[in-house]
Amino acid sequence: MSIVSLRTKLIAIITVILIAGFAATNILNYQVSKGALRTTILENELPLSSNNVYSAIQADLLRPIFISSLMANDTFVHEWVHDGELKPERMVRYLDKIRSRYDAFTSFFISSKTLRYYHYEDSSRILSETNLEDRWFFEARDMKDPYVVNVDFNHQQERNITIFINYRVIDNDGEFLGVTGVGLGLGSVSKLVKTYQEEFRRNVYFVDQAGLIQVHADPEIAGKTTLYDVLGMRDIADKVLANGRGSYAYDGVDGKVLLTTRYIPELKWHLFIELPESQALADMKRGFIRNMLIGPAVIALTILLIIYTINIFQGRLEQMAITDKLTGLSNRQHFDLSLTQAIKRFRRDERPFSLLMMDIDNFKLINDQLGHLAGDKAIRHAAKVIRDQSRDSDLLCRWGGEEFVILATECNAPDAQRLGDSIREAFRDAKFFPDTPDKKITLSVGISQVRKNDDEESVVARADRALYAAKDNGRDCTKTA
């Protein structure tokens, strides 16, 4: 496998790992956060909203119950009934004062003896057991509880809830005298419902024991729709109505809906507060999408940095692989590759090239007399001298030890001879050892020009033979084979 394909495969693997890791992490975090948020909403936020609404209802209910109780135990009412209900206008004035003093929506008293309905405005109406609208009075007459709460939906007052407290009037002897009570608008509850639905995106509504939705922001639903008509809700309706309070999740028309409920005994209704999960997760989902869009850009930038870094280190490694550490020249490996390419070019276009194989004369004596550190300095200096005398197009390599080789392109044997002689002369003039300027270094050079049918071994072998001929000829000379 080539270095390029290996690098491409490595970058591809890193890219897949980064993308898969990023996507998996974000999706996992989203799912975990989604579950945690759902739990928080069901266990904390919605129950807290339920408590706030219930507190408002409780505050509004205590007042009318107190007023109705006050009226039912008022001695004026008891004495007026026992006196034969003389002067009905007195009861009307009494009811009007009660209504005005406590800012009630209405105030009333029904006598059990005469079945007359006394209202704060008049007393002309008589109740009948055959009239369905009057049934509530006869039910109140027979009930065991001291009072009952009736709730109505007032269409004339911005659809506010109105509660009627029907309180049984019992004298000291336990005789049932009638029913008295007031009606008050639950304006604060309506306002709270509107606030939650508009500002906090909560759906607030009330359901009776039979599952009928009594109060809802949508007039097409209030009093007309039951829980069993709502998709998803019908599956949990019986469970919800059977429990005093609880938290649930059901699949609605537009997705999952989170719900908390509690029973309000004073109204005999269930308070429902729900939140579409899509709304609750909207901000989180936007963050998730934003991360998924930003992530690829970050990954792309990271990959570019990785590619840039790999290219830098690859270039350095490649340079190290073909460079001699001591001299900075090309090494034997680089020379072998270059020679192969040069022979291929020669076979293609027959442009000549020559090899100059060089060896420092008597280099062992330098190491023995001056030490290996001095020998290394001499080799580095020799490389500089050879480089300075060579052409830019020539490839200069350290062959090994104190041997060097030049692959001289576009160069025949005579030109190579002149190049070798100039290098030898530069050696004789160079000062390799500043502390011992009289100590000189000489160089032997062997040359071979490429021939037809040559291969790497043959052209190198001729240069090597020429180098040995130069050594045998007394050194410090140039020979061509």
CATH of residue 398's domain is: 3.30.70.270
From the candidates 318, 402, 403, 425, which is the catalytic residue? Answer: 402
Q: How many domains in the chain?
A: 2
Average pLDDT, the chain: 87
153 falls within a domain: no
Give the pLDDT mean for 448-473.
Answer: 94
Q: Which residue has the higher pLDDT, 156 or 328?
A: 328
Helix axes 282-321, 3-40, angle to 10 degrees: 160
Question: 272 in a domain, yes or no?
Answer: no
Q: Report which secondary-structure segment, H or E, holds 67.
A: helix 46-72
Do 80 and 130 fall into the same domain? yes
Q: State the Cα–Cα distance between residues 135 and 98, nearest whole angstrom.
A: 25
Instruction: Tell which wins on pLDDT, 398 or 319.
Output: 398
The closest alpha carbon to 22, from 285, 299, 284, belongs to 299
Asked if residue 327 belongs to a domain, the reply is: no
On the question of pLDDT at 197 being above 80, the answer is: no
pLDDT at 245 over 70: yes
* pLDDT value of residue 161: 67
Same domain for 85 and 3? yes
Per-residue pLDDT, averaged over 67-96, amounts to: 93
What is the pLDDT at residue 156?
40
Same domain for 300 and 171?
A: yes
Q: One-letter amino acid identity for 22?
A: F
What token pair was written down for 113?
Answer: 């003896």
Whether the CA torsion 58, 62, 65, 68 is positive or negative: it is: negative
Please confirm, yes or no, whether 425 is among the known catalytic residues: no
More confident residue, 351 or 160: 351
pLDDT of residue 5: 72
Domain assignment of residue 380, yes or no: yes
| Nearest 10 degrees: Cα torsion 10, 11, 13, 16 | 180
For residue 53, the Cα-to-chain-centroid distance in whole angstroms is 35
Residue corresponding to tokens 């309706």? 237
Mean local confidence (pLDDT), 96-116: 91
Residues 387, 329: contact at Cβ < 8 Å? yes
* Residues facing 256 on adjacent strands: 251
Instruction: Kindly write down the DSSP assignment for every residue of 290-338, as one continuous string.
Output: HHHHHHHHHHHHHHHHHHHHHHHHHHHHHHHHTB-TTT-SB-HHHHHHH
Q: What is the pLDDT of residue 155?
A: 43
Residues 147-196: tens digit of each pLDDT? 888 776 544 445 456 778 899 999 999 999 999 999 877 665 666 667 76
Residues 358 and 429 in one domain: yes
Average pLDDT value for residue range 403-425: 94
Are residues 340 and 458 part of one domain? Answer: yes
- Please indicate, yes or no, whether residues 343 and 441 belong to a single structural domain of this protein: yes
Q: Report if residue 231 sits inside a domain.
A: no
Which pLDDT does position 157 carry in this prediction? 44
- pLDDT for position 4: 64
**Which ranges of 102-203 would DSSP assign to H, the alpha helix?**
135-142, 187-198
Work out the average pLDDT over 456-478: 94
Q: Do both 15 and 78 map to the same domain?
A: yes
The whole domain housing 372 covers 332-480
- What is the pLDDT at residue 71? 94
Q: Is residue 433 part of a domain?
A: yes
226 domain-assigned:
no
Do 49 and 174 belong together in one domain? yes
Would you state the pLDDT for residue 170? 95
Range in 194-203, 347-356, 372-381 with the lowest mean pLDDT:
194-203
- Non-local CB neighbours of 310 within 8 Å, separated by 6+ positions: 7, 10, 11
Asked if 122 contacts 89 with a C-beta cutoff of 8 angstroms, the reply is no
In this structure, the answer to whether residues 43 and 174 fall within a common structural domain is yes
CA distances from 262 to 51, 54, 245, 426 (A): 9, 9, 4, 104
How confident is the model over 262-288, as a mean pLDDT? 84
pTM value is 0.54
Distance between CA atoms of residues 1 and 101, nearest Å: 98
Nearest Cα to 178, choosing from 265, 91, 104? 91
Average pLDDT over residues 209-232: 86
Residues 36 and 173 in one domain: yes
Res. 433 pLDDT band, cuts 50 70 90: confident
Residues 453 and 305 in one domain: no
Residue 310: the pLDDT is: 80
Q: Distance (Å, rounded) from C-alpha 480 to C-alpha 450?
A: 12
Residues 301 and 433 in one domain: no
The predicted-structure confidence for 340-349, as pLDDT tens digits, reads as follows: 999 999 999 9
Task: Compute the average pLDDT of residues 404-410.
Answer: 95
Which percentage of the chain shows pLDDT scores above 90? 45
Domain assignment of residue 246, yes or no = no
Give the per-residue pLDDT at 383.
93
Give pLDDT tens digits for 26-42: 888 888 888 887 888 88
Q: What is the pLDDT of residue 113?
A: 92
Distance from C-alpha of 479 to C-alpha of 481, rounded to nearest angstrom: 7
Q: Out of 17-26, 109-118, 284-293, give the one with best mean pLDDT.
A: 109-118
Q: State how far the Cα of 101 lies from the Cα of 2, in Å rounded to an integer.
A: 98
The stretch 63-81 carries a mean pLDDT of 92
Tell me if residue 347 falls in helix, strand or coil.
Answer: helix
